């Protein structure tokens, strides 16, 4: 309303057209006022702020000025004495065409659809949420209906083309585009800024090394666990502190879920089909968390995987559900390490060695023992691995009357509990509480799954 008198004055002295968005009589009902009732002119001319002055030559924009500035408007229009009773400058306000409540639908209406996914028409009396359940698109929890507007907004989170193929998704080996990942990210409840993490996770999960098909087909209760490192943790608001493995943080909760929905909805990996887990675990819904790099006495987990600290990465570990490691009395690194070793001897089974890997999510109070002792990651792992040499006599089949066990030819040998490099240490959690977590893995190597780390790109 501030510039209404200025516009009327300009209309009397020059050939101008005023485009008004919400009131056809603003600044007045006149032949030089055009009502942009559907906001098409504002959208196509990329108007973000009102007022905006455009100079048009031969039907094309030659220049523009945004907001109110007496000096700027006078120079721009060539007219003197504009708005002498007004402040010298005001920045203006947001255009309706960029209103968050309208911008997505305007993009759908005016940009021309670039989405190739099939449209699902719902009956007028169908409930969107229930329709997703009925058609088998969910993981058992409600999903966000992936409208075209929501998917387009999600795609703003990446510079990659919607039709670019991200991966061939098992078990059905279906090509999955960026757009298809975005659809499932919407359903999972992701924000657009999470999409690069989801895209990278899908790419990692569908490698031969990670073997997502095998992870589905096994009757063990394992799924892809996502560990995020680097600057993107803070950029998208991930949780690496209190309750990092639990609920409450949107990024943590939805990124892992989005990956699982891609596997289900694109690849066909559904429980009772190829997914044959005997009992399953929460990791099959989606488990994703960030490392507390700043509070660790060790190098970052990504650095231990060969990446620079400045890189943003996501690591996929084939794991079960988290398991508590309780130690409130150890005050030395040596004592705590011995306790970790006792805990890890029963990883998956005390009778299995050299076949599965593990993740230790070490809490800040436990990490403090190693900081105080001056231990780094290499020292901790060396001490721990030495304590995890197992007497083959104790774990072969038939020992102590237990039929389960390793082959009898391993009797008389000292055996490492884990294969080389099979203990992964990540730092995170609340600064109060002498508890850590271990996460057991699935069969590693060529017959199982290898932990995969990829750098996140936009």
How confident is the model over 266-323, as pLDDT tens digits? 999 999 999 999 999 989 999 999 999 999 999 999 999 999 999 999 999 999 999 9
Task: Indicate the residue among 48, 81, 110 that finishes a domain.
Answer: 110
Please check whether residues 167 and 218 belong to one and the same domain. yes
The verdict on residue 288 lying in a domain is yes
Question: Residue 1: its pLDDT value, please?
Answer: 67
Residues of the chain with confidence (pLDDT) below 50: none
Split into its structural domains, the chain has a count of: 2
The radius of gyration of the chain from alpha carbons, rounded to an integer in Å, stands at: 30
CATH value at residue 100? 3.40.30
The verdict on residue 116 lying in a domain is no
Please check whether residues 73 and 153 belong to one and the same domain. no
Domain containing 365 equals 130-455
Q: Which residue has the tokens 């039907």?
A: 59
The verdict on residue 177 lying in a domain is yes
Task: Indicate the residue among 110, 142, 170 that finishes a domain.
Answer: 110
CA angle 298, 225, 164 (to 5 degrees): 110
For residue 420, cis peptide bond before it (omega within 30 degrees of 0): no
Question: Residue 428: its pLDDT value, please?
Answer: 98
Please check whether residues 98 and 185 belong to one and the same domain. no
Q: Is the pTM of this model over 0.95?
A: no
Here the contacts of 430-433 (C-beta below 8 Å, separation 24 or greater) are 430/241, 430/242, 430/243, 430/363, 430/364, 431/241, 431/295, 431/364, 431/365, 432/365, 433/363, 433/365
Please check whether residues 188 and 84 belong to one and the same domain. no
Please check whether residues 186 and 39 belong to one and the same domain. no
Please check whether residues 100 and 145 belong to one and the same domain. no
Closest CA to 249 of 230, 231, 234, 260: 234
Please check whether residues 135 and 241 belong to one and the same domain. yes
CB-hemisphere CA count at 13 Å for 120?
Answer: 12
- Judged by phi (left if over 0) then psi (alpha if -120 to 50, else beta), residue 410 lies in alpha
Interatomic CA distance for residues 168 and 71, integer angstroms: 59
Please check whether residues 349 and 285 belong to one and the same domain. yes
Question: Residue 108: its pLDDT value, please?
Answer: 85
Could you read off the pLDDT of 376-390 as tens digits, one per residue? 999 999 999 999 999
Interatomic CA distance for residues 1 and 21, integer angstroms: 12
Question: Residue 369: its pLDDT value, please?
Answer: 98
Please check whether residues 152 and 53 belong to one and the same domain. no
Interatomic CA distance for residues 316 and 454, integer angstroms: 9
Please check whether residues 64 and 148 belong to one and the same domain. no
Please check whether residues 59 and 96 belong to one and the same domain. yes
Could you read off the pLDDT of 385-419 as tens digits, one per residue? 999 999 999 999 999 999 999 999 999 999 999 99
């Amino acid at each position: 309303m501030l510039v209404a008198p200025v516009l009327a004055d300009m209309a009397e002295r020059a050939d101008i057209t005023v485009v008004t968005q919400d009131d056809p009589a603003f600044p007045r009902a006149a032949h030089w006022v055009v009502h942009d009732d559907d906001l098409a002119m504002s959208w196509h001319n990329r108007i973000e702020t009102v007022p905006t002055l455009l100079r048009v030559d031969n039907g094309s924009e030659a220049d523009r000025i945004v907001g109110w500035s007496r000096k700027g408007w006078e120079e721009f229009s060539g007219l003197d004495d504009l708005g002498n009773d007004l402040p010298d400058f005001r920045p203006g306000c947001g255009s309706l065409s960029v209103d968050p409540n309208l911008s997505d639908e305007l993009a759908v209406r005016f940009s021309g659809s670039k989405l190739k996914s099939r449209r699902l028409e719902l009956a007028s009396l169908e409930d969107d949420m229930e329709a997703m359940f009925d058609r088998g698109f969910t993981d058992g929890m409600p999903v966000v209906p992936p409208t075209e507007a929501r998917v387009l907004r999600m795609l703003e989170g990446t510079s990659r083309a919607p039709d670019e193929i991200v991966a061939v998704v098992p078990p059905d080996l279906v090509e999955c585009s960026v757009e298809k990942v975005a659809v499932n990210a919407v359903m999972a409840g992701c924000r657009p800024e999470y999409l690069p993490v989801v895209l990278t996770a899908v790419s990692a999960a569908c490698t031969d090394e990670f073997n997502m098909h095998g992870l589905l087909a096994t009757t063990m209760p394992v799924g892809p666990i996502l560990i995020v490192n680097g600057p993107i943790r803070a950029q998208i608001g991930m949780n690496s502190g209190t309750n990092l493995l639990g609920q409450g943080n949107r990024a943590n909760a939805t990124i892992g879920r989005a990956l699982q929905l891609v596997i289900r909805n694109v690849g066909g990996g559904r429980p009772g089909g190829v997914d044959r887990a005997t009992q399953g675990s929460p990791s099959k819904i989606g488990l994703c968390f960030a490392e507390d790099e700043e509070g660790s006495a060790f190098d970052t987990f990504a650095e231990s995987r060969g990446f620079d600290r400045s890189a943003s990465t996501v690591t996929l570990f084939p794991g079960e559900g988290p398991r508590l490691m309780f130690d409130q009395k150890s005050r030395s690194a040596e004592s705590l390490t011995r306790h970790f070793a006792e805990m890890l001897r029963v990883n998956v089974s005390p009778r299995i060695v050299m076949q599965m890997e593990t993740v230790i999510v070490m809490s800040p109070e436990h990490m403090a023992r190693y900081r105080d002792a001056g231990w780094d990651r290499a020292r901790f792992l060396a001490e721990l691995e030495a304590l995890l040499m197992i007497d083959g006599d104790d774990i072969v089949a038939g020992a102590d009357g237990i039929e389960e066990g390793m082959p009898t030819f391993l009797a008389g040998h000292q055996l490492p509990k884990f294969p080389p490099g099979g203990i992964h240490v990540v730092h995170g959690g609340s600064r109060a509480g002498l508890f850590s977590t271990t996460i057991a893995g699935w069969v590693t190597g060529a017959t199982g799954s290898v932990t995969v780390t990829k750098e996140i790109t936009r």
